[in-house]
Chain A
């Protein structure tokens, strides 16, 4: 490794792998290393099942769990929005050819101790059991406005007199349509996917765009706006790593990282044992630079192995349930996700549920109680409380660009925003998708 590179990337989590791919595609000479002997870091899917049990200091799983190689268990629960940033990145970079996806069957929201399907279009709004008859009509009118809304086209704002996307608040928009607090709750949390209520006092443009993303995603593949890759989320970093390798990136796993070498306040290399690779920039996750990040919060996540689907979801083999904060007297939402053997992540007949939220008290496990209750009997539960780190600075001065920890959101939109922001800080420009040569020796894709 005693060579000279433009960039060294440390850690093979999803963010680092996307960045590595973008840098290689842009013609940079990239060395990508990981201290682990597997790809994915925090965004790996653990296989075989005994590795998951070992990770949590438990004895090997019993035989009832089937072939342990059939399990690929994510550590961080997330889905892809079908019309979201990550899908765009996958398609534009061609990485999608290495992956197969399934649509998540159901999207539910919790209200008054029970769950209901999230209504996302006018037809669903009119049949939803979440609202009374008059409220349904008001909600339908609101949805029509949200779906037609365009940031840059004042003719789509006319329904609300005096509307300005930069100044009109979201609560003013809700007030215009006279929506009640329950409708506001599921709109903000299950459609716009906010984790708290700060958005109400902010300009409405961003929220309307989020609602549009939800309904456009739903329109794309049907049953729900969410997609999930077969064999687990750990396939995503592997796919982008392959992209980086195809464009010349060098990969080294199982490589201890001993020092990031600086000269005159700027990074000049990375040392592993007595080898040092020279570079002009380093891109990494927070675990490689504990002294350059700060803790800004915690996420609690429970991985639950089950032999049945979740009640009241029509036996869906995959689903998402959002428990809006207000329903359970919290400040942030609780997310429940379910995938199963049909996604090649569990042995035949098995399900993996995840319950997660942002930690608010000193008893995190109790905070996800309402989510765990929805699941029914759980065969095995693994609970983690993970700190969320943010970099202390933007990296431009020392040329060390650090990603943020994966947050509690249920999808990859914030992941992509972080990646695009890091790329921009590191290279001074936005990523140019036209640099991906689409038909690399491939005649029929």
Chain B
């Protein structure tokens, strides 16, 4: 079940440094991308979660020893449905979770296509995790654990089977990603935030959120 020990919400105030990373979700429609995020960020699960409307930009922090890792999580907002994700989506992403549904073999095939797409479009150092979601429906399983694990090993992906419904491995997969992300000052700020973000009547430009 849920391990809340190292996830604080709404946002953990860690001592030491804070690193911010952009994490994108990918995967076929209805595999549970939004549910995973909702479970991770808010500890909630809705059996009949509607297709993604509204929530498409969430943040959550994970505390490692002396570092607070802040995830800026991008959901596809349904733009994956007709393969119409914009390059902006991949831009600057330092981590990705590619999700499939263990009860649906097609979604696993599509997950492999998304991994290829990430290798083509995203930064070469991106940390990719593969999540076999809906693990609570193991009696309807169509994708074997070993098959997915072998594929993940061959492509150097993190891999876990998850359940947004029971919270199994949800925090763990984010935590595993947090551990694998480079947290030296250079790498966390490196390619990020060179410009300024526009804010209402904010006359002083400055670099936004990064390791300080």
Chain A interface (Cβ < 8 Å from any Cβ of B): 39, 47, 87, 90-91, 96-103, 219-222, 227, 229-231, 235, 238-239, 241-242, 245-248, 250-253, 342, 344, 437, 440-445
Contact = CB atoms under 8 A, between A and B. Distances in A.
Interface of B: 10-11, 41-42, 52-59, 77-79, 81-84, 86-89, 91, 193-200, 203, 205
A100 B87 contact: no
B83 A253 contact: yes
Contacts of A437: 54
A323 to B, nearest CB: 28
Contact of A246 (B53, B88, B91, B197): B53
A279 B57 CA distance: 30
Contacts of B87: 39, 47, 238
Given A231-B88, A247-B54, A251-B81, 6 more contacts: A100-B194, A101-B196, A227-B198, A437-B54, A440-B56, A444-B59
A220 B87 CA distance: 30
Nearest to B196: A101
Overall SS of chain B's interface? loop
29 contacts: A47-B87, A96-B197, A97-B57, A98-B88, A99-B197, A99-B198, A100-B193, A101-B195, A101-B197, A103-B196, A220-B203, A221-B203, A222-B205, A227-B198, A231-B91, A242-B88, A242-B89, A245-B56, A245-B79, A246-B56, A246-B57, A250-B78, A252-B82, A342-B194, A440-B54, A441-B55, A442-B55, A443-B10, A445-B57
Given A87-B198, A99-B197, A444-B59, A235 B88 contact: yes
A83 to B, nearest CB: 10
Nearest to A230: B195
A102 B83 contact: no
A100 B41 CA distance: 25
Specify which of B41, B53, B87, B89 lies most central, judged by the most chain A CB atoms within 10 Å of its CB.
B87
Nearest to B195: A100
A440 B57 contact: yes
A253 B199 contact: no
B79 A251 contact: yes
B83 to A, nearest CB: 7
A157 B58 CA distance: 49
Contacts of A441: 41-42, 54-58
Contacts of B91: 231
A445 B198 CA distance: 12
Nearest to A95: B198
A238 B53 contact: no
A248 B79 CA distance: 10
B78 A238 contact: no
B196 A100 contact: yes
Contacts of B78: 245, 248, 250-251
Contacts of B197: 96-97, 99-101
A443 B57 contact: no
A247 B81 contact: no
Contacts of A98: 88
A220 B194 CA distance: 19
A87 B197 CA distance: 11
Contact of B77 (A90, A231, A246, A253): A246
Contacts of B203: 219-221
A100 B86 CA distance: 16
A221 B205 contact: yes
Contacts of B199: 91, 96
Contact of A444 (B11, B53, B55, B77): B11
Specify which of A238, A441, A443 lies most central, judged by the most chain B CB atoms within 10 Å of its CB.
A441
A275 to B, nearest CB: 12
A344 B193 CA distance: 12
A322 B88 CA distance: 31
A245 B200 CA distance: 24
Contacts of B10: 443
Contacts of A222: 205
B145 to A, nearest CB: 32
B86 to A, nearest CB: 4
A239 B195 CA distance: 16
Nearest to B85: A251
Contacts of B84: 251-253
Contacts of A87: 198
A238 B194 contact: no
A294 B41 CA distance: 52
Contacts of B77: 242, 245-246
A221 to B, nearest CB: 6
Contacts of B194: 100, 102, 230, 342, 344
A251 B198 contact: no
B40 to A, nearest CB: 12
Contacts of B81: 250-251
Contact of B59 (A39, A100, A443): A443
Contact of B86 (A39, A246, A247): A39
B53 A91 contact: no
B126 to A, nearest CB: 15
B7 to A, nearest CB: 14
A232 to B, nearest CB: 10
Contacts of B41: 441
A219 B204 CA distance: 10
B205 A246 contact: no
Specify which of A98, A100, A231, A253 lies most central, judged by the most chain B CB atoms within 10 Å of its CB.
A100
A238 to B, nearest CB: 4
Given A91-B198, A238-B87, A246 B54 contact: yes
Given A219-B203, A251-B79, A242 B196 contact: no
Q: Which 5 A-B pairs have the closest CB atoms?
A: A100-B195, A441-B55, A245-B77, A251-B84, A238-B86
Contacts of A91: 198-200
A242 B79 contact: yes
